[in-house]
A and B are shown apart, each in its own frame.
Chain A
Amino acid sequence: MNTDRNLNRMLDLWFAEGFDEVNDHVLDAVEGRVRRQRQRPGWLLVWRDTPMNGYLKLAIGVAAVLVVAVGAWQLLPGRDGNGGLGTPVPTASPPASSPSPPEFTLTYDPELPYLLHLTTPAGWFRDDSEYVLKKATAGSELAIATWVVENVYRDGCRWADSIFDPPVGSSIDDLATAFASLEDREVTTPVERSLDGFDARDLTMTIPTTFDAEFSACDEGGIGTMFRYWTAPGGGVRYSQGPGERQRLLLIDVDGTRVLVLGRTDATNSAAEVDEVNSILDAMQVESLAAPSASP
């Protein structure tokens, strides 16, 4: 029964069966959600469509509650050692406190055992995406995000036949070496670093400004011509938003998980804006969620 031909025939027939009409309530629900959902700015979008996972939403929610709770605690009267809840000190005004700086928690996939904690100056925000953003003075946006890289395109413009084969190895050095070998863009020499005790490599990758804005001479993918950087497990692809795009890349080995963190700026950003992104990345905290290994 299960020769190749029979199997193909069976699968063709079997998939031809099934439900072919969607219930109206689904589109009604979509319409309602679309009314509430803001569109992302076009330049920012990468070809990655992960909706924010419930765990991530929960983590962000918890973080927000903690920020509010800590702020409220700071404002409680008598918090300087003599009291607390239920110990009002009517004559003392609560100390003036500046708003807490924005804090963000990032992960590429909540199933992966790591979290990144960012503290930013005022003005940074997060929409319903994996990116932490700030409006830049020239109109673009500064961005920070995390990825997990599966493989790399050797030629970002002629990417269709240029994926590394064999694929890039699994270590941060394998990835750093692959990036450093790319000849179609400017890549700094990877620098060894330690981030919160985790081994890391630090480099910057810049797309030449010689391309036209639409990369119109490049290979065409599912959404038009594009310059591609890398692929991620599950089919995600990171592609360039335009010539002159600059990415500070931190490749971190978090207890065996190879994590990439990018700080995105472009040629229109000022030196101060680039410094701001770099400062946030330098102060980033890396947390491993991997279970500790059993004692011998």
Chain B
Amino acid sequence: MDRDLVELARRGDQAAFMALVRPRSDRLFAIAQRILRDVDRAEDALQDALVIAWRDLRGLRDPDRFEAWLRRLLVNVCIRHAARERRRAVRLRVLPVDGPAAPDQLLTVADRDQLERGFRRLPPEQRAVLVMHHFLGYSPAEIAETLAIPPGTARSRLHNAHRAIRAALDADARVTAVGGRSA
């Protein structure tokens, strides 16, 4: 069914394209929001990615790969948005307390705070691989294929991202211990 919709959309059928992306939009938005850590920016990134997908859909040779192709477009758009955000040092909107789902109470408020600040210090490419690995459950090989990077690069990005966020958390813990910062 999706394959038919992709073929129609490739021939310029806008309704078919919207029928393809609507059921996927929540998941795509969730990915963008986790990379960018901001709802407004995630909405912008999703919009851009979907319009690019429409524009470039005729370049998709295998309609069965639509989903993977779309995710890759979105992740790369998010990386660029995140890079701009870092360059401009924009203050990001803090997530409202009652907004996101909180399926597990094992994380403390302090954990979340540390993760948030550690994550935002990471380069956009490292943010993206963390989200792909921990949120989407991708292996390094799947990350490599999705981002069209060598598998070794995907592994090293993931390793460096883990190392960087661990360092950020450890540094935070030291500050907390010395300065008694409240969470």
**Interface, chain A (partner B; CB < 8 A):** 1-2, 4, 7-23, 26-27, 29-31, 33-35, 37-42, 44-47, 49-51, 128, 151, 163, 165, 214, 220-226, 231, 234-237
Choose among B12, B49, B150 the residue with the greatest number of A CB atoms under 10 Å from its CB: B150
Interface residues of B in 76-96 (CB under 8 A from A): 76-77, 79-80, 95
Given contacts A10-B107, A10-B111, A34-B17, are A39 and B101 in contact (CB under 8 A)? Answer: no
Whole-angstrom distance between the alpha carbons of A16 and B21 in the complex?
Answer: 22
In angstroms, Cα B130 to Cα A8, docked, is 10
| Contact indicator B59/A47 (Cβ below 8 Å) | yes
B69 within 8 Å of A by Cβ? Answer: yes
Expressed in whole angstroms, the Cα–Cα distance for A55 and B43 within the complex equals: 21
Cα distance A129–B99 in the bound complex, in angstroms: 37
Check if B160 is an interface residue, CB within 8 A of chain A. Answer: no
Contact of B50 among A8, A30, A223 (CB under 8 A): A30
Do residues B60 and A19 form an inter-chain contact, with CB atoms below 8 A? no
A222-B69, A222-B72, A231-B149 known; A7 and B169 CB under 8 Å?
Answer: yes
On whether the beta carbons of B148 and A26 are closer than 8 Å, the reply is: no
* Alpha-carbon distance A2/B58, docked complex (angstroms): 46
Distance of A251 Cα from B131 Cα, bound (Å): 36
Known: A13-B103, A14-B134, A37-B51. 17 other contacts (CB 8 A): A8-B134, A11-B130, A15-B131, A19-B29, A30-B47, A30-B51, A34-B17, A34-B54, A37-B55, A41-B58, A45-B59, A47-B148, A49-B56, A51-B77, A221-B148, A222-B68, A223-B65
**Is B126 in the interface zone, CB < 8 Å from A?**
no
Contact between B47 and A39, CB atoms less than 8 A apart: no
Least Cβ–Cβ distance between A232 and chain B, in angstroms: 9
Cβ-based interface call for B8 (8 A): no
Tell which of A22, A26, A40, A235 touches B79, judged by Cβ atoms closer than 8 Å: A235
Known: A38-B55, A222-B145, A223-B69. Contact between A2 and B169, CB under 8 A?
A: yes
B contact residues vs A (CB 8 Å cutoff): 10, 12, 14, 17-18, 21-22, 25-30, 33-34, 39, 42-43, 46-52, 54-62, 65, 68-69, 72-73, 76-77, 79-80, 95, 99-104, 106-107, 111-112, 115, 125, 130-131, 134-135, 145-150, 152, 162, 165-166, 169-170, 173
| Min CB–CB distance B27 → chain A (angstroms) | 8
Q: Are A30 and B21 touching (Cβ within 8 A)?
A: yes
Q: Is the beta-carbon distance between B134 and A235 smaller than 8 angstroms?
A: no
Chain B residues near A41 (CB, 8 Å)? 58
Contact across chains for B148 and A42 when beta carbons are under 8 A apart: no
Residues of B within 8 A of A1 (CB): 169, 173
Bound together, the chains give a CA A14 to CA B102 distance in angstroms of 9
By a CB distance below 8 angstroms, the chain A residues around B112 are 14, 17
Give the docked Cα–Cα distance between A27 and B106 (Å): 34
Contact status B29-A45, CB under 8 Å: no
Q: Whole-angstrom distance from the CB of B181 to the nearest CB of chain A?
A: 16
CB distance from A162 to the nearest CB of B (A): 10
Q: Is the CB of B148 within 8 A of A22?
A: no
CA distance A16 to B31 in the complex (A): 10
Task: State A2–B167 Cα separation when bound (angstroms).
Answer: 9
Output the least CB separation between B21 and chain A (Å): 7
Contacts of B47 in A (CB 8 A): 26, 29-30, 33
A223-B59 in contact given A19-B100, A29-B47, A31-B18 (Cβ < 8 Å): yes
Q: Check A223/B150 contact, CB under 8 A, given A10-B111, A33-B51, A51-B77.
A: no
Residue of A nearest to B128 (CB): A235
> Whole-angstrom distance from the CB of A8 to the nearest CB of chain B?
7
Tell me if B115 and A11 are in contact (CB < 8 A): yes
